Amino acid sequence: MKIRKVFSLLFVAVCLFALSTSAFASEFTPTAIGFADTKDQAHLLTPTPAGVVAFAMSLTNSTDVDWYKWTNTAGQSKLINLLLYKTGEGNYDLGIMIRYQDGKETTKLYAAEDGKVRYIPNLYIPAGATLFFVIEAKVFSDPSDVYSIYLVDPSLEK
Ligand SMILES: [Ca+2]
């Protein structure tokens, strides 16, 4: 009898957790709808020192994409480390494009898959060039899955 009570309490606790998780998901979703859906609407980011998250967001559904950009205005070339990390079950891809100062652009190139991480170290961005990158769902699981972008300029002090 006592064990049954413990189990029923556990069951209630699990239900409460599930409820609060879904409440979070429905609350979170509207903020991500329509965010940075095209390259022209890319959200501007600024590189940070190593270990600092530049931005965190979520995808709304399997067809949602989020574009970001950064223009190198330092007057000299930069070596940038770009990393995507994601919580939850889904699996997200990281694609990059570089637009050079004369307007020429690369095609979209994808970072190699490494579990929940996509990592491109030592990305050479010439002066005046713009780095575009996009987060796409390879496998979409839930809109409450949060991804974090690390856009690191190692020459910056923390
Ligand atoms: Ca979006």
Percent over 90 (pLDDT), the chain: 75
Instruction: Give distance in angstroms: CA of 125 to centre of ligand 1.
Output: 25
**What tens digit of pLDDT does each residue of 74-133 get?**
999 999 999 999 999 999 999 999 999 999 999 999 999 998 899 999 999 999 999 999
User: What is the structure's pLDDT at 69?
Assistant: 98
Distance 42 CA to ligand 1 centre (A): 9
Question: From the CA of 64, how far away is ligand 1's center (Å)?
Answer: 5
Query: pLDDT tens digits, residue range 114-128?
Result: 988 999 999 999 999
Q: Could you count the other beta carbons within 10 Å of the beta carbon of residue 3?
A: 7
Reduce the DSSP state of residue 24 to 3 states and report it: helix
In percent, the amount of the chain with pLDDT more than 70 equals 80
Q: What is the mean pLDDT of the chain?
A: 87
Tell me the CA–centroid distance for residue 16 and ligand 1, in Å.
30
The amino acid that residue 157 corresponds to is E
Measure 53 CA to ligand 1 centroid, in angstroms. 19
Ligand 1 center to residue 2 CA distance, Å? 50
Q: How confident is the model at residue 26 (pLDDT cuts 50, 70, 90)?
A: very low
In sequence order, what are the residues at sequence separation of 6 or more whose Cβ sits closer than 8 angstroms to the Cβ of residue 132? 39, 42, 67, 68, 69, 96, 97, 98, 99
Question: Tens digits of per-residue pLDDT, 29-41?
Answer: 445 678 999 999 9
b/e code 65-83 from CB counts within 10 Å (16+ = b) = bbbbbbbbeeeeebebbbb
Predicted local confidence at residue 5, as pLDDT = 56
CA angle at 20 for the pair 53 and 144, rounded to the nearest 5°: 40
Q: How confident is the model at residue 63 (pLDDT cuts 50, 70, 90)?
A: very high
* DSSP letter assigned to residue 156: S
- Measured in Å, residue 36 CA sits from the centre of ligand 1 at 5
With 60 as the cut, is the pLDDT of residue 158 above it? yes
Residue 47 CA, ligand 1 centroid: distance in Å: 21
Residue 4 has pLDDT above 80, yes or no: no
* Separation of CA 142 and ligand 1 centre (Å): 14
Residue 63 has, within 13 A of its CA and on its CB side, a CA count of 1
DSSP 83-134: EEEE-SS-EEEEEEEEE-TTS-B---EEPPPBTTEEEEEEEEE-TT-EEEEE
Q: 95: CA distance to ligand 1 center in Å?
A: 14
Angstrom distances, CA of residue 147 to CA of 35, 90, 131? 14, 10, 19
Q: Can you give the pLDDT at residue 25?
A: 47
Comparing 75 with 12, which gets the higher pLDDT?
75
pLDDT beyond 70 at 55: yes
Determine the distance separating the centroid of ligand 1 and the alpha carbon of 158, expressed in angstroms: 30
